[in-house]
Every structure is written in C-alpha cells, then in structure tokens.
Structure 1
C-alpha cells in the first residue's frame, strides 16, 4: 500500500489522483488531496468566468474523483513558508506530488505599472470569482474607458465580464458585492490590445465569438490594425511568413480567429451601450497618470519582423483609461523547500520526478503548470498527470520500503493544522446555496476566509454576502 499526498485540488491534482487510483499495478494506493483553500477545484472554481457554466460543470467530474473511497480531500492545509514544510510532508507519506499551478501573473515591466488603477487581470478574476484572498474593495468601475492588455482567453473573459450587463450575471454564482459593483459600472469602452496580430493571438475561437454575442455590447475592429497581419491581407488558409520562402498553413484555430475578426471589421457600428475595441500591433511602453492614478496607456505601433515576431516602428498612440488590467500570462511561485527554476517559473523535473541538483529526489513529483509552465488547456493536464504517475508507480518498490503506519491526518492535527475534510466542503456548498436563496439568487459564493471556515464547521448565521 502506498500513501500519496497530492498538493493542489485543481484539474492537474485531481487528474493525478484519478490516475493513481485507476492504475492496476499498486491497487491499494491511498491518496490525500491537500489544498491551501478550504474549497476544492482550483481554477475551475476560482478562475473560470461565472458565465461559463459548461466549463464550470467540470466540477462534477472532479467531484467524482474526490469522492472515490481511496481519495480524501484535506483543505485548509498550507505547504511552504507559513505551513507544513515539504520535508515534513514527505515524512508523512510515501510520495508527494505537487500540482500547485502558476499563481502569479506576469508583469509588463514598464513605467507607471504601479499607478493606482493598474491591476493584474488575475486579481480582477479573483475578485469576481470570490477568491478569499481577493481584495474586498473591488476595482475602479467608475472608469468609462478600460484597457485590457493581452489577447488570450483571460483577456477575453475580463473584457466580456466588463461589457456584460449585470442582469446577465445575476443567475451565476458571482459574489453579491461584485454583482452590485458591476451593476453600477460606468464602463462603456473596453480596449483589448495585443502587440501582435489576430493570427498570432492566443484566444480560442469559441471564447472570441462570445464577445460578438453580448446583447448590450458591440465589437469594433480597426481595419488598419488588421492590414498589417499577413493572414488578414491574404487567404487565411495559408500565410507566407516573412522569414520563410514557402507557404505554411495557418493552424485551424488561428485561421478561424482571423475569419471572425475579419467579419467584425466589416460590420457597421450598431450604437449599443458598450463597445469592445479589439486592437492589434500595439505594444505598451508606459502607463500615464495624474495624481498617482492611471489616466492612459501609451503604445508603440509594431509591425511583423522577419522572424515571425514584431518590431517597434517608432510611432506611438495613447488610449485613455482609468482602469488598466494586464493579462499577459501566469508564472509559477516557488514553494520554500522545493527547488525552483526562476527562468521558467517551474520545478526542475525529469518525467515528473523532482530534480535536486540534477538528481531525482526520492518520493517528490510534480504535475500541471508547476511542472510544464502555464501552457495548454484543462484537458492537457490529463496526459501531464499520467506521465508523472507512470514515473511514480515505476518507483513504487523503493517508495514502499519506508514504513508509514500513522494516519497523516492525525499528524496534521497534532501539528496544529485544522484540515477541512469533504463533509466540511459539502457544508460550504450548503451555506452558499442558503446565501443565494436569501438574496433571491441561485447558489452564491462566500467570498471571505472567515465565512468559508465558519460554514465548513457548520456554523450558521449571517455571512457577509
């Protein structure tokens, strides 16, 4: 029998647990899925936009794994500087798999980035997703013009939430304070800006098309921006890269993105209440401000270079904005006691085995974004988890040589930890359903640590909405 700890209850952690209990070579494996939060599901709960109910329904699949009789959920357990050390954790289990994702956003590294009104899209998503670490005060939605820097799915989600009417979000689980702030929003123009063209943007076509389906908003595209993109000016089925002499087929998703944007560029304005401006070939160089607050973003016009990237042209443009959200990617965060590659933002590994000074560390493994970087979609984590589990099971004979007789849960409690087990999470679900009913809505997320932990203990009574 192997006792395995999986740190992180998002898709990569749960898929790792599923692969561990599903493999036939060590049928008696027991898996504890640990999480710093008292709630499971990771970015599916706290990163997927509230109006994406089909994606959020993935929680049902993850739930079935966490309810498996060989799997145990232990929330409210922190690993690292302020919690249990990796060394101490490994002493409680035969092996530990870290699936902690990439929690930090990337910065732009330009002047003015720290002005008031400049935020990461990660923080904005955490706010409208009711993450208990999110700032409760919210964001400056009194701004009429907002700039979202980035052209990936996170940028699309943020732009859509800003442009969507609050009544459309009322049936979702968005926290009540955020719903109220969005209802009073003065935002009328959302500028989503990328430094390259639509053929190189990272959003998926389904997400992109949703911008054009908003009932109270319209999408506007500058034809002059698109004219710089070789795939826009030519047949989108093929594109001749400047550095290559032969035609090269454009990937299907990129081709569809170009076609969608091309269609929007041909549409006349419809005079709707809000506007989403898709801008391309603009690189942010400075956030401008007055009185310590951001007032505009200065961009340099870019153009395709001969290497498939872009170069600056020396021409500049300013877009007025009192709120700026950067959505330029995620980065892994080091866990004290684990090796970390600061260049890639990942834990060094070989087929999932953690490497310390170039040598595999017995019993320590990684999966998910902390293993490979913030790439791929949710489903990518399945294959990633499987590779790690194959390595772990191959190591099982040496791992099982260590005798572990005590239940790790008893050791955690003895060390002063107060794990939230599965019944505690179910109590949180019940409390959120009750909160929603009291507000005339469906289930509404509890947005603060105190409320979540009280709910986990079954303490009823008023909870901050």
Structure 2
C-alpha cells in the first residue's frame, strides 16, 4: 500500500473543492488499496466557495448550484475546512481579522500541498490611477457580495453617468445590477444594505468602453442578451458599419450571434426608458481629469484615444483621434492577477509558476508534491466548467505522485527555495500525523477565530432562514455577525 497522504489545499473556491472532491472519490474511504488520506482546506475568507459566493452576480443563482457538490465533499470524514485563515509570509492586509498561518506551518504538517489561491487582485489601467473618480470593478463586486475586505459603498446617489472600462462579463454584471430595479433584485442574494444604497441610485447611463470591436468583446451572448432585455433600460444604437465584419473575416458562431443581437438592439426602443447604456467600441482611455469645480453635479473628463485593429496582430492601435467623455465615475474591469506575495508568484505571468498542475522552480523544474490549480495556475480566465476540467487534471497529477511517479516527469527541488529560504522538499513532511493540525489552527479553533465546515452550515442555514423571512434567496451575515451568531447558537 502507498504511504499515507496528507494534502493541504490553500484556497477554498471552486478549483479547491473540485480537486478535493475528485481525490476523495477516486481514493474511496475504507478501500484497502487506497492510501490513508486526509484533505485539509485553508481559506483566508471565513465562508467557503470563493468566487461562487463572492464573485457570481446575485441574479445568477443557478451558477451557485455547484455548492451542493461541495457540501457533499465536506461530509467525507477525511476532509476538513478551516476558514478565516490566511496562509503566507505576511498577514493579508485587507482582511484584518484573518488568522495568520505561516507557510512553514503547512510544510511541517503535510506531505502534499496544492495552491488554489486564485487571482485576488484587480488589474489596473496604466493610464488612469485609482482615485475618487476611478475605482476597480472588484470594489463594486465586493460591496454587493459583502466580501470580508469591507469595500465601502459607492456614492450612487451622486452619480448620473458611470463608465466601465472593459467589455467582459464582469462589466456587464455591474451594469446590469446598476440598471435593474432594486424591487427585482430583492428576490436574490443581495444584502439589504446594498438594496438600500441601490434604491437611492441616480445612475441614468452606463457606458461600457472597449479598445477593440464587437468581434473581440469578451462578454458572452448570454450576458449580452440579459442586457438587451433589461426592463427599465435601453441600449444606444451602434453604428451599423461597426457591426459589419471586415473583408475576409468569417465570424464564429458566437460572434455571429453577438452581431445579430447588437443589430437587433434592446427590447426597449432608445429613449423610451429612464435609464440607458451603450457599448463604446474602439476606444482606449488615456487620462482622467477631475471636475473643474467642487460641485456634485460636475463630472470628471475621461480622455479616450480612438483605435483600430492592426490586421497583422489584431491589437488595438491608436488612430491619432481622441474624444472626451464626461462621466461621474470610472470603473476599470480589466481582469485579475494573483497576489505577488504568494509563494512562487511569476511577475511575468502574474500568476503562480506552474506547468501541467505542478509548481515549478525558476529553472522550470517541477517541485516535488507541490501543485497549483485554477486561476492560481492559469491566470484569471475560464468559467466553472473549465475550472472543473482543470481541477480534475491536476487531481490526476497528484494521483500519479501518490503511486510510483512516472519516469517521464522530472521532479526536483534542489535549486529552488521558498521566499523564506526553505527548500520545499526538505520541509514537506513525508510522515505527517494524519489528524494533527498546526498549533496556530488548534488555538484559532479554541478561540473561535477559525470557521470549520459545520460552523458554515449553521451560518448557511440561518442566512437562508433570514432570507426566506424577507422573501429572498438569503440574507448574508458579515464576519462579526456570523461570529456572534455562532457563539449564541453553540450548545451550552
């Protein structure tokens, strides 16, 4: 029988749960052939499920159905979840209540390690820095999903025109939330304090700006169709010439559907609704000037370079023409990257150094028993289905190391060290105490600062109960409220 396996997974999002689920199912409990196995998951967020809870738009509840599978995974007695735990060399600054766990404590207590830490930081636009008039989209998403980073609510009662930079699904999510009546959103997983702010919103128009054209837009036809069918907003018509493919270009099926939707336009005729939105193609920001006076009605000035596609590279290049767009607030939605403080971060790729699911050294050599999956390994792209496929592939890699490894895979750690100067193959414990925990976690559990999955299910049930009382999907708790509720509901 192979030696015991004790896997630490850093991260508690979909990729982490898909790996855990797959590994536990392929090495069944009480199977005499399988090695003794433990899977311990650590997440800096106190609630599990990562982007499913804190990234999926609230009016897309069907996307969250995967949590049922994750709940089943958590019933396996070999699995444990530890939330509100930040693993790393320094505490995570934006979640001050998270328990700090040095990476060395993981290495000392586990035989295998998987990074499923995702891409948690927004990519900023080089020409417009964050300011009172420019914020990353992640701030808005964190606000309406009640992320533990405590994003402040936007001053929507002082905004009439909002500009989104980037034409991906996140931009359309934000635009849709801002252009949908709170009475419609109330049935979904939208916190009451968010609905209250939305009810005071004065946003009348949302511009969605992209540096390339409709054939290159990153949003899906599903998201576009939802925008087109908004009941209280209409789309500004797009110049017909922009919706004609260039000579020699044959659109894909999805591109044809996008062009057809854009040609048809929104369900509501332009000018017939109190709110509107536009897709502004071939525009790239070059600067943002604040209002000339302190009047709340004055707008900032967003300078846009007009662009065209270079036929040879398909890159957007400036034409030399510019225009100015008056706007109350700019929201940049240009994707995400991994935290540079994460071990094995690759500055060039902006995610962790990995190949075929294995963390690699700076020389490109695979490190023994250390893996990466999901956005942490591949960058911020793909949907839940592609995340699951990738996670299952990484699970196969882990399994190949549990049984005698393939001669074709060269695994080494001799020339690579962690940031604190520790060679990982010297620290991962080949003979761990299967049920032992790092001392910091033991103390954190005793102090009530670490959330385990049973704790989460108690909170989950209460959130759903509170939501049902309000006629909605759920009413979320923040950290302090969840902690207080667990204390009050604990057996005496």
* Cα distance between partner residues in 1 of 2:320 and 2:328: 25
> Structure 2 vs 1, CA of residues 258 and 2 (structure 1 numbering), >3 Å: closer, same or farther?
same
Q: Does 1:350 align with 2:378?
A: no
Alpha-carbon offset, residue 328 of structure 1: 1.0
Query: Unaligned stretches of 5+ in structure 2?
Result: 28-32, 92-99, 405-424
Alpha-carbon offset, residue 2 of structure 1: 1.1
* Cα distance between partner residues in 1 of 2:244 and 2:442: 67
* Cα distance between partner residues in 2 of 1:266 and 1:438: 34
Q: Does 1:16 align with 2:27?
A: no
Alpha-carbon offset, residue 32 of structure 1: 1.4
* Cα distance between partner residues in 1 of 2:14 and 2:256: 29
Q: Does 1:450 align with 2:466?
A: no
1:373-412 CA-to-partner distances (Å, cap 9, x unmatched) read 1111111112211222222222225899811125243634
Equivalent runs, 1:71-86 vs 2, <5 Å: 71-80=79-88, 81-82=90-91, 83-86=100-103
> Structure 2 vs 1, CA of residues 313 and 139 (structure 1 numbering), >3 Å: closer, same or farther?
same
* Cα distance between partner residues in 2 of 1:152 and 1:348: 26
Q: Does 1:261 align with 2:262?
A: yes
* Cα distance between partner residues in 2 of 1:397 and 1:410: 26
3-state secondary structure, aligned to 1:221: coil
* Cα distance between partner residues in 2 of 1:410 and 1:150: 43
**Bigger shift: residues 431-440 or 132-141:** 431-440
1:68 to 68, 76, 86: 76
Contact 2:238–2:279 at 8 Å: present in 1 too?
Answer: yes
Contact 2:299–2:326 at 8 Å: present in 1 too?
Answer: no
* Cα distance between partner residues in 1 of 2:453 and 2:268: 51
1:379 to 374, 385, 390: 385
* Cα distance between partner residues in 1 of 2:488 and 2:400: 42
Tell me the C-alpha RMSD between the 2 structures: 2.5
Alpha-carbon offset, residue 125 of structure 1: 0.6
3-state secondary structure, aligned to 1:90: helix
1:60-97 CA-to-partner distances (Å, cap 9, x unmatched) read 23222233333222211110112222232021111111
Contact 2:109–2:433 at 8 Å: present in 1 too?
Answer: no
Contact 1:222–1:265 at 8 Å: present in 2 too?
Answer: no
1:395 to 383, 388, 401: 401
> Structure 2 vs 1, CA of residues 410 and 315 (structure 1 numbering), >3 Å: closer, same or farther?
closer
Alpha-carbon offset, residue 248 of structure 1: 5.2
2:336 to 325, 330, 333: 330
1:302 to 307, 312, 331: 307
3-state secondary structure, aligned to 1:91: helix
Contact 1:339–1:347 at 8 Å: present in 2 too?
Answer: yes
Equivalent residue number for residue 179 of structure 2: 163
1:227 to 232, 241, 249: 241
1:269-317 CA-to-partner distances (Å, cap 9, x unmatched) read 2511110111111111111212689613111111122222221112112
Alpha-carbon offset, residue 149 of structure 1: 0.9
1:243-274 CA-to-partner distances (Å, cap 9, x unmatched) read xxxx4542222221121112118984251111
1:129-181 CA-to-partner distances (Å, cap 9, x unmatched) read 11121324444442111101111000010110010001011111211111001
**Bigger shift: residues 247-256 or 6-15:** 247-256
> Structure 2 vs 1, CA of residues 214 and 389 (structure 1 numbering), >3 Å: closer, same or farther?
same
> Structure 2 vs 1, CA of residues 43 and 167 (structure 1 numbering), >3 Å: closer, same or farther?
same
Alpha-carbon offset, residue 193 of structure 1: 1.0
Equivalent residue number for residue 409 of structure 2: none
* Cα distance between partner residues in 1 of 2:434 and 2:267: 68
Contact 2:234–2:269 at 8 Å: present in 1 too?
Answer: no
Equivalent residue number for residue 416 of structure 2: none
Alpha-carbon offset, residue 117 of structure 1: 2.8
Contact 1:106–1:328 at 8 Å: present in 2 too?
Answer: yes
Contact 1:425–1:456 at 8 Å: present in 2 too?
Answer: no
3-state secondary structure, aligned to 2:290: strand
Contact 1:154–1:327 at 8 Å: present in 2 too?
Answer: yes
Equivalent residue number for residue 189 of structure 2: 173
Equivalent residue number for residue 110 of structure 1: 127
Equivalent runs, 1:74-223 vs 2, <5 Å: 74-80=82-88, 81-82=90-91, 83-111=100-128, 113-223=129-239
* Cα distance between partner residues in 1 of 2:376 and 2:155: 29
How many residues end up aligned between the 2 structures? 442
Q: Does 1:59 align with 2:67?
A: yes
Equivalent residue number for residue 405 of structure 1: 433
3-state secondary structure, aligned to 2:208: strand
Query: Unaligned stretches of 5+ in structure 1?
Result: 241-246, 461-465
3-state secondary structure, aligned to 1:68: coil
Equivalent residue number for residue 273 of structure 2: 272
> Structure 2 vs 1, CA of residues 264 and 360 (structure 1 numbering), >3 Å: closer, same or farther?
same
